[in-house]
Chains A and B, each alone.
Chain A
Amino acid sequence: MLAFWQDANLAWVLTGTLLLGISAAVVGGFAVLRQRALIGDVLAHAALPGIMVAFILFESKAPGLVLISALISSLLAYYLISWITRVSKIKNDAAMAIVLSLFFSIGMMALSYIQTLETPNKSGLDRLLFGQAAAITQHDVIWLSWVAIISLCFIAVVFHKLRLMSFDPQYAQTLGLNLKAYELSFALVLVLTIVIGLQIVGVVLMAAALLIPITIARFWSQSLKSLLVIAAMMSVISASISTQISLMIPHMPTGPWIVLILGLLFGLSWLIAPRIQGLRHV
């Protein structure tokens, strides 16, 4: 059996999935608690047209360019949703569904167009749809590390304010806090996390990496700090196992395995946690 430490390249893959798992679990955890569970899904889909248009314009897939173009198009979607809900009677969920499909269609059109081009380095763009952890390089991991550090530091520093705004945004406003500035910075961190996740789990499964860990953690704890730690641990477990599986079995994709194992952990927690807590109360 081959293990990850026997191969430098595989070590990068594992590091990449771990970093992504941890930051997605923590940042996504806050999104779920703000009852904005699906915003991550929308932003992931909305990143696609940005990346494709940037490729058409600059014929490049440099990580910096991908990051900035994805950032712009996801934030555009984010503000489009809040604009739609503000100026019309359309509710948030409908607005999110509209924006998600609209941006994704544009992204798919651009992707199809790119496939017809003669540009040499176009291969790999379609990977963003379903992700391909095995293709992670040292270069990517450096980017991933920076984004993970930035996201986690941001959450740690403004933890109290984020919690206040998640629990009772209206009250936060009556305290004179600048809600919009916090909203924007949280959206930025969320988009950063999503963009780096695209390469590993892809647009379609990104939401799972953001949402499932915190829902597992809710079976085990009541305090927000330990919830976030447990969520990160769940991500670590699923990232390690899935990397190992895709290594042992040829042609096994890592992304879907990450999600599947998170799903298994969810099922197990659902079964076990109430019994253990029941024992504690006796």
Chain B
Amino acid sequence: MNALTTHNLSAGYQANKVLQNISLALPQSQATAIIGPNGAGKSTLLKGLMNLLPQVSGEVSFFGEPLKKQYHNIAYVPQREEVDWDFPICVLDVVLMGRHGQLKFWQRPSKHDHQLALQSLDKVGMQAFAQRQISQLSGGQQQRVFIARALAQQAKLYLMDEPFAGVDIATEKAIVALFKQLKSNQQTLVCVHHDLNTLKDYFDWVIMINGGLVAYGPIQEVLTLDNLNKTYDGRLPILQNLGLVNSEGSN
């Protein structure tokens, strides 16, 4: 069964939607990157999947069921900039938020929930920071806390909005190691990604969008110069390192 299927998904903030008619199907246990130029609708795609925007139309299903029945299987990691990092709360309490989908409105996190939260912090190398105020964290540490919060959900599918944006090398390495671990546990990843140079190393599949869907599939099959040109309107980022220019250029 596919982890994620969409049919004619359109989404945006106003009636004139940024993202138009996305139909795709992603298998389980793969790491997929969403790439495209600025304003192409990469974050909008993730938010559209989670029904977080005022205007969403089309069909989305997770593991063969609609979102309403699958909340517990999906963990969303927003961009760091979307919250107030001066909010008075410690790291552990942020990670514990990941458990609240399973808790009724009057319920407090249990011992088991605390254990899961600490384990999740450990997986991103942040256990020593559990009692630290979030206002004291660096950008990379903030990102790791957000990922730990998603891990605490114990989901099957992780949707991450630019997890590598503005993080230090230590954090990038920690996240990449985590990706490998998640995949080996049969978990599925979908990330908005900017760096075409690391695309092949970190991901297996790619979704190329530019308002609409340009192509999607395994990286070896769809990451062609032709598709990249369509995605970036000919304004290609530096491609030397991708090993595509020579092979495609000779055609």
Residues in chain A within 8 A of chain B (CB atoms) = 33, 35, 86, 157-158, 160-161, 163-164, 166-168, 170-177, 182, 218, 221-224, 227
Contact = CB atoms under 8 A, between A and B. Distances in A.
B100 A173 contact: no
Given A168-B83, A174-B71, A174-B74, A161 B88 contact: no
A170 B88 contact: no
Given A167-B97, A173-B52, A176-B72, A33 B109 contact: no
22 contacts: A33-B87, A86-B54, A161-B100, A163-B89, A167-B84, A167-B97, A171-B76, A171-B149, A172-B97, A172-B100, A173-B50, A173-B51, A174-B50, A174-B74, A174-B76, A175-B97, A176-B72, A177-B100, A177-B101, A182-B105, A222-B88, A224-B88
9 A-B pairs with least C-beta separation: A176-B71, A175-B101, A174-B76, A222-B133, A224-B88, A164-B97, A168-B83, A174-B50, A167-B87
Contact of B78 (A86, A157, A163, A168): A168
Contacts of A227: 88
Given A163-B93, A174-B50, 20 more contacts: A33-B87, A86-B54, A160-B100, A163-B89, A166-B87, A167-B87, A168-B82, A170-B47, A170-B52, A171-B97, A171-B149, A173-B50, A173-B52, A174-B74, A174-B76, A175-B98, A176-B72, A177-B100, A177-B101, A222-B90
A167 B89 CA distance: 9
B214 interface: no
A166 B84 CA distance: 10
Contacts of A167: 83-84, 87, 89, 94, 97
A176 B54 contact: no
A173 to B, nearest CB: 6
Contacts of A168: 78, 82-83, 97
B105 A158 contact: yes
Contacts of B149: 171
A221 B88 contact: yes
A66 to B, nearest CB: 29
A175 B102 CA distance: 8
Nearest to B76: A174
Contacts of B100: 160-161, 164, 172, 175, 177
B108 interface: yes
Contact of A157 (B72, B97, B105): B105
A31 to B, nearest CB: 14
A33 B88 contact: yes
Contacts of B50: 173-174
Contacts of B87: 33, 166-167
Contacts of A35: 84
B105 A161 contact: yes
Nearest to A228: B88
B138 interface: no
Nearest to B159: A174
Interface string B208-220: 0000000000000
A171 B161 CA distance: 12
B186 interface: no
Interface string B179-203: 0000000000000000000000000
Given A158-B105, A160-B100, A161-B105, A171 B88 contact: no
B133 A157 contact: no
Contacts of B110: none
Interface string B54-79: 10000000000000100110111010
Nearest to A223: B88
Contacts of B133: 222
A224 B96 CA distance: 15
Nearest to B74: A174
A158 B88 contact: no
Nearest to A166: B87
A222 B71 contact: no
B135 interface: yes
A192 to B, nearest CB: 19
A218 B84 CA distance: 15
A170 to B, nearest CB: 6
A67 B98 CA distance: 38
Contacts of A33: 87-88
A157 B101 contact: no
Contacts of A172: 97, 100
A157 B88 contact: no
A85 to B, nearest CB: 10
